[in-house]
Amino acid sequence: MKGKKKMGIVTVSDRAVMQIAVHTAKKYNGVAGMSEKSRAVDTARFVAGNSDVAGVYVAKTKSGVKLEMYIACNHGADTKSLSQGVADAVTNAFAGTGITIKDVIVHINDVR
């Protein structure tokens, strides 16, 4: 069309999506950090250091992106409101990015 320019295509990597999710979750009150689920023995392992994608798994669907997150909470945290709050915060972090977050599943599998 006259007067309109094609802007191209923007691709956001899975790793970038994971980094946004981790950064958002770590800032949420009550989250001690990220954890991971051991595939071998089904036990939790706290992720030490500054791993920028640990504990987040991405699945792309036709209707959007599904995130599965494993977190460690602080002792005494209200786990029900914490998991819902983290899910909402992560979903809101993608507002305006053009990425549709279809579902955020938060597993609290460690306490610090």
Using DSSP, how many helices (H) and how many strands (E) does the chain show? 2, 5
d(CA 59, CA 47): 21
How far is the C-alpha of 105 from the C-alpha of 5, rounded, in Å? 39
What pTM was computed for the model? 0.82
Q: N- to C-terminal Cα distance for the chain? A: 58
Which band of pLDDT confidence, cut at 50, 70 and 90, is reported for residue 47?
A: low
Confidence of residue 1 (pLDDT cuts 50, 70, 90): very low
Q: What would the pLDDT profile of 56-74 be if each residue is shown by its tens digit?
A: 999 999 999 999 999 999 9
